[in-house]
Structure 1
Amino acid sequence: MKILIVSDTHGRHQALDRALEEAGKIDMFIHLGDVEGGEDYLEAVVECEKHIIRGNNDFFTELPREEEFEIGPYHAFITHGHYYYVSMGMETIIEEGRSRGADLVMFGHTHRPFFLQKDGMTILNPGSLSFPRQEGRRGSYMIMEVNGDGKLSFEQKYL
């Protein structure tokens, strides 16, 4: 199973289109918030299972604030991250993930890629496709794969 994880597109679709093209065939698409009105666009161009949540800039949307679901044998918790103060550190979101029994915790908001595996939990942020803030300021996304044995792999990608 191949999963494309993105965040913080802020209504701009050029970088998203490029990430979708580079990723090729995907089985699941996860957007971690700050879609800014791009819900209909995502619905039109992404042709697989989708999980899209609202971010702090997603006003007047019906998107959920956060979501929990299964990816193969793994329990995933996705949120934009601002309610868990991710700009200040990872402690609160890690604790929330632990309390929900999550194996995978995914968030956006900071516009910076982040990856940590700790105590059996993977915490990640793919960064921002549209407004990256890390050194080099290249739009970023993540590819996660679950192989036939249920083993996870992650690849941070840059445009």
Structure 2
Amino acid sequence: MKVLIVSDTHGHEGNLEKVLGKVGDIQHLIHLGDVEGHEDYIEAISGCPVHIVAGNNDFFSELPREEELWLEDYHALLTHGHYYCVSMGTSRLEEEARARGFQIVMYGHTHRPELKIEEDLTVLNPGSISYPRQWGHEPSYILMEIDRDGEAHYTINYLK
């Protein structure tokens, strides 16, 4: 199973379109918020099930604040992260994810990619595919692949 994880497109899907063409077939697209009203377009171009949560710029949106999702044997929490103050660190988000029994927590908001794999919890942020803020300012996304043995593998990728 291949899962594309993105965040913070802010109404500019050009790079998302490039990534979709580049990564090939995916089984799920996860968008961690700040679509700014373009959720229907993102669903239309994805060609697979799409999971989108509301970000702090998704005003008047009916998108959910969070979503729980099973990716094979992995229980994942999807959130934009602003309600957990992720700009100040992820400890509050990690505590919540552990308390609720998740193996994976995905968030956006900071526009900086992160991948932290611990024994009981994987914390990931794909960064921003449209407005990156990390050193080098390369648009980023994460591919999650679950192999035949059910093991999850993650890669942070940059659009060059």
Counterpart AA for 1:146: I
Aligned pair count?
Answer: 159
Match of 1:64 in 2: 64
- Correspondence 1:8-157 to 2 at 5 A: 8-157=8-157
Instruction: Provide structure 1 residue ranges, at least 5 long, that are not aligned to the other structure.
Output: none
Cα distance in 2 for residues equivalent to 1:90 and 1:119: 16
State the shift of 1:46 in Å: 1.0
Counterpart AA for 1:107: Y
| Percentage of pairs with the same residue | 55
Question: In angstroms, what is the RMSD of aligned CA positions?
Answer: 0.7
State the shift of 1:119 in Å: 3.5
Cα distance in 2 for residues equivalent to 1:121 and 1:138: 26
Counterpart AA for 1:30: I
TM-score, normalization by structure 2: 0.97
Cα distance in 2 for residues equivalent to 1:44 and 1:70: 22
State the shift of 1:22 in Å: 1.3
Cα distance in 2 for residues equivalent to 1:72 and 1:143: 15
Instruction: Provide structure 2 residue ranges, at least 5 long, that are not aligned to the other structure.
Output: none
State the shift of 1:5 in Å: 0.1
